[in-house]
């Protein structure tokens, strides 16, 4: 019983650090801007190490064999990105000088950012901490922590939108245990936000500007 309680305490502390302390430190500016990406990288490596140590494979995270879904995923990714960029060019929605930023948003966002976020916030979170929370709290807590990370953009809009989207994504994952579904839904939310003109609220970090690439 003592060992079980100790292991539980470790996971509670881990949850508080990964999903509470780190984003709060980033959003408050305690962690310098240039160091944020090192924090993200370190967090990702830690998550991978925990999953390997506990022998948590892709299927348990909600990522069954990719082969049967790869064609559909690639088609949605290509069509979605192409449609979004095409609409922006047709509507002349942004100056040409920001083309690099839009390429990052519509290509790297669904290819790298979205799946990484879904593994961290849905797959890893539910597998690692679901038994720590009462069933009725798992979705709202997940949504709250998801929105807290979006405070790094310094935008109340990003926090509010992430809370709503996070609740939907958490509910979908809890009912389906399908991370691919959450990945595509998250991508759709992002595309909708950018096309609605909310880009500044979600890309306020220098990495999304030409200055951040120099």
Per-residue pLDDT tens over the stretch 152-162: 877 788 888 89
Say which residues have a Cβ less than 8 Å from residue 54's Cβ, sequence separation at least 6: none
pLDDT for res 199: 58
Ramachandran category for residue 192: left, alpha or beta (phi over 0 → left; psi -120 to 50 → alpha): alpha
pLDDT along the chain (214 residues), means of 10: 72 94 88 79 89 86 65 57 55 50 66 84 95 92 94 82 94 92 86 69 46 37
pLDDT for res 146: 96
Chain centre to alpha carbon of residue 35: 19
pLDDT for res 114: 85
pLDDT for res 127: 94
Vertex 15 angle, CA 10 and 21, to 5°: 115
Range 10-21 burial, b when 16+ CB lie within 10 A, else e: eeeeebeebbee
CA 35, CA 48: separation in Å to the nearest integer? 20
DSSP state of 197: T
pLDDT for res 154: 76
Cα dihedral 83/84/86/92 (nearest 10): 160
pLDDT for res 103: 64
How many CB atoms within 10 Å of residue 4? 8
Give, to the nearest 10 degrees, the angle between helix 179-195 and helix 67-91. Answer: 0
Global model pTM greater than 0.85: no
């Amino acid at each position: 019983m003592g060992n079980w309680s100790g292991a539980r305490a470790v996971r509670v502390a881990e949850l508080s650090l990964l999903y509470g302390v780190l984003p709060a430190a980033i959003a408050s500016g305690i962690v310098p801007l240039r160091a944020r990406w090192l924090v993200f990288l370190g967090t990702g490596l830690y998550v991978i190490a925990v999953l390997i140590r506990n022998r948590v494979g892709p299927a348990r995270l909600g990522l069954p064999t990719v082969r049967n879904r790869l064609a559909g995923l690639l088609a949605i990714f290509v069509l979605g990105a192409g449609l979004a960029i095409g609409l922006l060019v047709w509507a002349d929605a942004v100056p040409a000088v920001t083309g690099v930023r839009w390429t990052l948003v519509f290509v790297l966002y669904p290819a790298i950012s979205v799946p990484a976020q879904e593994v961290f916030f849905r797959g890893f979170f539910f597998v690692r901490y679901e038994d720590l929370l009462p069933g009725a709290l798992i979705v709202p807590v997940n949504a709250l922590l998801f929105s807290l990370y979006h405070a790094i953009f310094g935008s109340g809009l990003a926090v509010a939108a992430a809370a709503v989207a996070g609740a939907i994504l958490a509910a979908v994952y809890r009912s389906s245990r399908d991370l691919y579904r959450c990945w595509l839904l998250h991508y759709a939310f992002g595309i909708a936000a950018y096309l609605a003109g909310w880009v500044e609220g979600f890309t306020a970090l220098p990495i999304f500007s030409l200055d951040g690439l120099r």
